[in-house]
Amino acid sequence: MPRERKPPKDMPDVVVHAIRAISPHARAEIVRFLRAHPGSTAGEIIDGTEIDRDALKKTLPVLEETGFLRVDINGDRARRTVRYSIDEASFAQAFDLLGGYLRSDTGTP
C-alpha cells in the first residue's frame, strides 16, 4: 500500500480536509449520497451506495475528522438512532478554497 504523502506546506488545512473527504472513491460516494439524502442512517447509506458495512465503519470517522460530517444521535442507549448529514456550509467553503488553491500560480514552470 502506498504511503500517504504529506501535503505541501502552503496548502491550507481546510484544503487538505476537502481532498481527504473525497479520496478514495468510497468517501466521495458517501458524501454525494449524504448531500442528496441528509439524515441517513448507516443502513440507508449502505443501501444507497453499495459500500459494505466494514468500509463504511472505516470511512465515517475519517469524514467526521474532516469536519464535514454531522452526526445526530437520537433516543436512549438501547434504541438510539444515528443519522449522518453533510455540513453544507463548511463543505462549500472548503471546496471553494480547494478550487482557488488549484487555480493558484505555484511560481514554478
Is position 8 within any domain?
no
Terminal CA-CA length for the chain: 31
State mean pLDDT over 2-13. 67
Instruction: Indicate whether 85 belongs to any domain.
Output: yes
Which pTM does this prediction carry? 0.72
pLDDT for residue 51: 86
Predicted local confidence at residue 9, as pLDDT: 74
81 lies in some domain:
yes
Q: What is the pLDDT of residues 53-69, one digit of tens each?
A: 988 998 899 889 888 89
b/e map 32-68, b = 16+ CB within 10 Å: ebbeebeebeeeebbebbebeeebbeebbebbeebbb
Report if residue 108 sits inside a domain: no
Number of domains into which the chain is organized: 1
Nearest-angstrom CA–CA distance, 19 and 91: 11
Question: Could you read off the pLDDT of 66-98 as tens digits, one per residue?
Answer: 888 999 998 877 788 999 999 999 888 888 888
CATH of the domain at 45: 1.10.10.10
